Amino acid sequence: MSVRVARHGAPGPDDEAYAKSLGESTAKSIQWLEESPRMFNSTLGKAILHMDARCAVDPRAGQLETWEAVVTAMQVGSAMFAAAVTTEESVQCRINREMRTIPATGPQDYSDAGNWLTAFWLAVVCREQNRMAQLCEVPIELLRASGAEVDEYVYHWVDALQTYWLRRPGLVEKLVAAIEGSYPEAATITPPDLLQNILYQPINLFHRFVRKDEQGFNQALVEALELHKQYWTADEDRAQRVDGLVALGLLAVVCLAHDGGIPIEVESDYLPKHLVQRSWLGEFET
């Protein structure tokens, strides 16, 4: 029997128009990437906001427009790092249904571990295995070169995910380092509520996944979703934002578990049903 965790908020009368305007704005920003790749960070942020806004009006991701928004965000995130690591003058990337020539950027302040995690989660949700592999080849040193001030556990976490997907040795040690590094006494940069309620939860869930702990996975998922809701409803300002309507990190790990044969016994609009079930795969070239 499935457990259901209700999502906070409800679609409003203006949400459809808001999502449409974000989609148009995202498309305009994408057009500029070939001339100004410095816009990658703002474009990725806008694309994710568009995805979240689409999920506000389409909680189960049952509409093609929502899938298009998810794919576009994934394409922007992957292209960001493709441009950062290429040794050529430019790289060809499909973004928003078109092949685009993106100039090489090298390491940038936005090519950091946080954006890498976002890009990887999006690739997982879209089941883009080639892009996942390409992201996993991004050197940790390039992420450090961004100059972003983050807790060390984040790099252990990226390393663990890269190790898992590329089947490199040392996964257990790297995952343990990520878990221990996220303890409050070790992680002193990230705000404690953000760390414990949002950022740590995919690590814990992934740990259950790699151990093939089906019961523990579903229990941890319920707890993680409740903490996600708690964080995003802590005050009125957060509760009104669309940012918290999709639990992206949890969604990605759930997609890995679903594809890996773990029965998902938890339902929630924080985890859009048709993204978990990969209902839209093959709908158009990505």
Which pLDDT tens digit goes with each residue over 208-247? 999 999 999 999 999 999 999 999 999 999 999 999 999 9
Alpha-carbon gap, residue 19 to 127, rounded angstroms: 24
What is the per-residue pLDDT across 148-172, written as a single tens digit (0 to 9) for each?
A: 999 999 999 999 999 999 999 999 9
* 3-state DSSP assignment of residue 74: helix
Residues 89-126 have pLDDT tens digits of 999 999 999 999 999 999 999 999 999 999 999 999 99
> CA–CA distance from 25 to each of 29, 61, 271 (Å)?
6, 21, 25
Domain spans of the chain? 13-276
pTM of the predicted structure, to 2 decimals = 0.97
Confidence bin at 13 (pLDDT 50/70/90) = confident
Say what the pLDDT of residue 11 is: 76
Burial of 249 (0-12, 13-18, 19+ CB in 10 A): buried
Which residue is it, tokens 């044969």? Answer: 261
Q: Is the pLDDT assigned to residue 278 strictly greater than 90?
A: yes
* Contact by Cβ (8 Å): 176, 146: no
| 120 CB-contact burial (10 Å; exposed 0-12 / middle 13-18 / buried 19+) | buried
Judge whether residue 189 has pLDDT over 80. Answer: yes
Give me the torsion for CA of 266, 267, 270, 275, rounded to 10°.
100
**CB distance 47 to 68 below 8 Å:** no
Q: Can you give the pLDDT at residue 34?
A: 96
Q: How far is CA 186 from CA 65, 128, 204, in A?
A: 42, 34, 16
Three-state secondary structure call for residue 187: coil
